[in-house]
Amino acid sequence: MFQGSSKATATAAAAAAAVAAGVVVGKALSQEDALLRLRLRLAQFFRGKYTLRDVRIPESLLPRELRGAADAEGLVACDVAVGNGVIDEVAPPKSLGGIDCNGCLVVACFADSHTHLVKTHAHPRARNATGSINGALAQEVEDQPRWAACACCRPNALTGGSDNAGGPQDQVVCPKADDVKRRMEFALKTAYVHGSKAIRTHLDGTAADDQKLVDTVYAAFRELRDEYATKGLVVQGVANLYLPLWSDENIAKPFADRAFKEGAILGAYCGNVAETTPEETLKHCAALFTHAIRLKLPVDCHVDETNDARCRGLSALAHALLDARAVGYDQPVVFGHCTALALQPPHILNAICQALEQCKPVCIVVNPSTNLGLQDRRGSAPPHCAFIDPNEPRTPKWRGLAPVQELASQNIDVAAASDNVRDWWHPYGDYDQLETWKNAVTLGHLDTAPHEGRWAALVSSAPARAMGLASEPFAEGAPADLVMFPRARRVSELFARPHGLGRVVLRKGRVQSGTVPSYRVLDDVVAETTPQPPPDVAYARGAAKSGLQT
């Protein structure tokens, strides 16, 4: 008995020693981050100028004259001089003076050009039972009445859903509505801490029949946009209308005018155009660009997000955009998702790429995490997708990613974005563009095309350019908005432990403080479960008309 007790004691002691050692190592690593932060703060305080000595930067973020010295991962060893909040100089390492960064990896602050902040973080209350696009559309119809509800009327909103999806919902709307704003704010806080400097959200609900819901969404957008502008985070909004409705002037003009008034840009949910004639689709696309030309606004469309290879809305949009360019329209245009483009035969893919190449400035935004989960999933069905039996076990056969390599080879800008985060379209995510970069590289086999550093622009300079923002983050005079990974010297290390190697965010050269918010602060928002939708509710209730789409 005593021998067994001795063994148990020894085992417990060994376990305690291991835990203690882990704590010591963890503290040492935390101290390493803290020391770098302290050095940066002191340098900023005393001199206003400092040099980040011996850092590694992905070549796609650097001025072209510095790209030739990239290593196998596409990283370039540099010294970065910062003064008065801007980049003074980026040069080959001199090993003289400055803050020794020991070869740590540095990227530009992120830009996230395709998100859905209005419905984010609602997954715990509104789980998509099938995980499919059809299931997401239906679940959104059920949850939407809650968006304009506050704490006092949320229980009543639970009786809304598909029964009230097509008409006024005054009985469940309160002037103190906070559901949308609280979830949006949670998302923006998270993105800010992770190092984003720009984020674009599609303003779901702005095409709804319920005017109070429309007002609620726009109010939350305005308030948070203005608040985060003072912190160095640009927040843009897109007002989306179901594509055919752009041809109805009685709907389209007031919708576009309201978007313009609210500081949003124009968008369209194109849906599956496979059953629409090319001429009809082109007419609707042209109507959209007519309003964009009239108001001098950029355009951002959801297009061809389906597993149906017959869906080629991107072709019609490209031709409509070419016509708009011919009459002087010069605003940046974004086409999001484009998953069906990966299913096209080579001659059609090449023709669409050639048309897009003539449309610049244009950017294709892929959403690797969301579409990996949505595309080729059982439960998909017409009219949104090609049918996949919901009752048969089936592992997906393709990745739901637009042809990134082919597009880039035609000199077409490509960006990658978070898209949906913790909602019925995608149950995971955290608005961390490091994860998006990693997922895009992994899913698109970009690590050998030719290397990871070539594709860092997917989550920084490319989306910034698509959003009409400055897109040369390491140019002389650019704001020193940087994300440093003090314990990652290689992309392989960073991707292996994306949240375990620490990060230091600089905004205008100053160290950012703060931590991501706790999910507990949203517990009351998601406490009550949204009813599961009846079959086919999304299609029957006109979800497309209400602007319900990823």
Q: What is the pLDDT of residue 155?
A: 54
More confident of the two residues 3 and 144: 144
Output the average pLDDT for the chain.
89
Residues whose CB is less than 8 angstroms from the CB of residue 468 and which lie 6 or more positions away in sequence, other chains included:
298, 331, 332
pLDDT exceeds cutoff 60 at 290: yes
More confident of the two residues 144 and 16: 144
Cβ proximity of 484 and 104 under 8 Å = yes
More confident of the two residues 430 and 23: 430
pLDDT digits (tens, 9 = 90+) for 56-70: 999 999 999 999 899
For residue 114, give the nearest of 478, 484, 471, 458 by alpha carbon: 458
pLDDT digits (tens, 9 = 90+) for 200-217: 999 999 999 999 999 999
Q: What is the pLDDT of residue 15?
A: 43
Q: Of 147-161, 320-334, 478-492, 519-533, which range is least confident?
A: 147-161
Q: Of 19-28, 158-167, 281-290, 299-308, which range is least confident?
A: 19-28
C-alpha distance from residue 315 to each of 403, 423, 514 (Å): 15, 30, 45
Helices (H), 129-206: 133-143, 154-157, 179-194
Cβ proximity of 207 and 241 under 8 Å = yes
Report the alpha-carbon distance of residue 224 to residue 158 in Å, rounded.
26
Q: What is the pLDDT of residue 307?
A: 96
pLDDT exceeds cutoff 80 at 48: no
**pTM for the predicted model, two decimal places:** 0.90
Domain boundaries, the chain: 2-108+479-511, 111-430+518-540
pLDDT exceeds cutoff 70 at 545: no
Report the alpha-carbon distance of residue 136 to residue 115 in Å, rounded.
16
Which whole number is the average pLDDT over 327-355? 98
Q: What is the pLDDT of residue 42?
A: 75
**Residue 346 φ then ψ, to 5°:** -55, -40
Q: What is the pLDDT of residue 547?
A: 45
Query: 58 - beta bridge partners?
Result: 75
Q: What is the pLDDT of residue 40?
A: 79
Cβ proximity of 413 and 468 under 8 Å = no
Which whole number is the average pLDDT over 456-482? 98
Report the alpha-carbon distance of residue 442 to residue 450 in Å, rounded.
13
* pLDDT above 70 coverage of the chain, percent: 85
Residue 344 — pLDDT band, cuts 50, 70, 90? very high
Cβ proximity of 240 and 207 under 8 Å = yes
Residues whose CB is less than 8 angstroms from the CB of residue 273 and which lie 6 or more positions away in sequence, other chains included:
243, 281, 311, 312, 313, 316
C-alpha distance from residue 389 to each of 130, 188, 393, 540 (Å): 11, 38, 9, 20
CA angle 467, 473, 479 (to 5 degrees): 100
CB crowding 252-289: b at 16 or more within 10 Å, else e? beebbeebbebebbbbbbbbbbbebeeeebbbbbbbbb
| CATH superfamily of domain region 111-430+518-540 | Metal-dependent hydrolases (3.20.20.140)
CA angle 241, 244, 249 (to 5 degrees): 80
Q: What is the pLDDT of residue 500?
A: 86
Helix/strand/coil (H, E, C) string of 397-411? CCCCCCCHHHHHHCC
Cβ proximity of 510 and 44 under 8 Å = yes
**DSSP sequence for 42-103:** HHHHHTSEEEEEEEEEEGGGS-GGGGGG--TTSEEEEEEEEETTEEEEEES----SSEEEEE
Which whole number is the average pLDDT over 9-22? 43
Quote the strand ranges of 136-256, DSSP E: 196-202, 234-242
Cβ proximity of 323 and 286 under 8 Å = yes
Report the alpha-carbon distance of residue 485 to residue 491 in Å, rounded.
10
pLDDT exceeds cutoff 80 at 482: yes
Which whole number is the average pLDDT over 377-395? 93
Most confident range (mean pLDDT) of 29-38, 413-422, 509-518 is 413-422
C-alpha distance from residue 64 to each of 68, 148, 235, 493 (Å): 8, 49, 29, 25
Among the CATH numbers 3.30.420.40, 3.50.50.60, 2.30.40.10, 1.10.260.40, which is that of 2-108+479-511?
2.30.40.10
Whether 2-108+479-511 and 111-430+518-540 share one fold: the answer is no
Q: Of 152-156, 282-286, 524-528, which range is least confident?
A: 152-156
Cβ proximity of 58 and 64 under 8 Å = no
Cβ proximity of 457 and 61 under 8 Å = yes
Neighbours of 47 (CB within 10 A): 9
